[in-house]
Each structure stands twice: as structure tokens, then as C-alpha cells.
């Protein structure tokens, strides 16, 4: 198992992602596990490690609004919310871009949850690797790891590399669904939703 302990090891984490591996990454909310969302095998491994039901879509993190637009449609209220709250702890559920693989987001609803985190290590990784499927570092239903040490304790096998750090917020992001006629808060969190 590759252990990443210095900033220079960012390249090793990116290389692991490009091989289809799952890696650990700190974010502005919780410590997370990340995989290449465009690799079916990598996403399947992420679901398997989490023991997460396949019907629960994994959100996508991006380095910028422009990068987020590679997977989701940011128009109208979604664009205004992104410009106001990103980088930050707000996940926007929006329409998927045409041609996205069917394992990215929720193809049944033609939607995907996306956000830009406010964490320097996560942003550095995303800038190098591109958008990533990221979920909290825990077994489904269990307590989330607070940092890379906690994630290592939960996932002794299967995670190829860890960026050191702490999930800065400790609470999952606010999730707002913007795919319907009016916004719906799916999960309350650090960003209070005031509507756009």
C-alpha cells in the first residue's frame, strides 16, 4: 500500500487514481475516499470498499465551476448558487451533461451531485486529476473518519494512497436538488440554503 506523507507525493496519488485505484483525501467537510468517476472499475471499487448500496449515487468534486461543468449542467439558479457558495460545503444536484457514463450520478433521474470544496489539498488534487467521485471515508452507516489516520484504520486494505490531512468541517455538505421546479434541500449542512 502506498502511503503519501509529503506534498511532493501528490503526483503519486494522481498516478494511483489514473491506475483506477481509490485514494484518501481531506476536504472542507469530512475526510473522504476518491476515485476516477469515468472509470467503471474505480467507481465499483469505491462502492465495494464503502459497502454502499449501488442505488446511492456518489457526488463529484471539482476544482472549479468550469471543471464541474464537465459532469453537470450549471445554469440559472444552479450557476448563481455555484458562484455564490463555491468553493464551499454546498453540493448541487443538477442535470447530467449529455454522454456521461451511466455509472456517474443518478442516470435514472438524469442528475449528478457536484461541488467545489474549500480545501487546499483537495483543490490541488482535483486540479491535477480532474473531477473525482468523493464520499466520506467510512463503511456505509458507520462514523466517518476525521483524518487520514482514521481512514487508514477503517480501510486497512483497498485504498492505494492517502493525502495527509483532516476533514476541516467535520460535517457533510448541504445538499440541494435543483432538478425540479423549485429547489429542495435533501440534507441540511454547513451552508444554510436561502434560495437563489
CATH topology of domain 7-187: DHBP synthase (3.90.870)
* Residue 2: predicted pLDDT: 42
- For 61-96, the pLDDT digits (tens) are 999 999 999 999 999 999 999 999 999 999 999 999
Using 50 as the pLDDT threshold, list the residues of the chain that sit under it: 1-8
Would the pTM of this model clear 0.75, i.e. be above it? yes
Instruction: Report the alpha-carbon angle 110-116-117, nearest 5.
Output: 130
Amino acid at each position: 500500500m502506498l502511503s503519501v506523507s509529503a506534498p511532493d507525493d501528490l503526483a503519486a496519488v494522481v498516478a494511483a487514481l489514473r491506475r483506477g485505484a481509490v485514494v484518501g483525501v481531506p476536504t472542507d467537510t469530512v475526510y473522504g475516499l476518491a476515485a476516477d468517476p469515468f472509470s467503471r472499475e474505480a467507481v465499483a471499487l469505491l462502492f465495494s470498499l464503502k459497502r454502499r448500496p449501488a442505488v446511492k449515487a456518489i457526488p463529484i468534486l471539482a476544482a472549479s465551476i468550469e471543471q464541474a461543468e464537465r459532469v453537470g449542467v450549471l445554469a440559472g439558479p444552479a450557476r448563481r448558487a455555484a458562484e455564490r457558495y463555491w468553493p464551499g460545503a454546498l453540493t448541487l444536484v443538477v442535470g447530467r451533461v449529455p454522454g456521461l457514463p451511466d455509472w456517474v450520478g443518478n442516470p435514472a433521474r438524469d442528475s449528478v451531485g457536484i461541488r467545489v470544496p474549500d480545501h487546499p489539498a483537495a483543490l490541488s488534487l482535483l486540479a491535477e486529476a480532474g473531477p473525482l467521485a468523493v464520499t466520506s471515508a467510512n463503511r456505509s452507516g458507520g462514523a466517518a473518519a476525521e483524518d487520514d489516520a482514521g481512514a487508514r484504520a477503517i480501510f486497512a486494505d483497498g485504498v492505494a494512497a492517502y493525502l495527509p490531512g483532516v476533514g476541516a468541517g467535520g460535517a457533510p455538505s448541504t445538499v440541494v436538488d435543483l432538478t425540479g421546479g423549485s429547489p429542495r434541500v435533501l440534507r441540511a449542512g454547513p451552508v444554510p440554503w436561502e434560495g437563489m
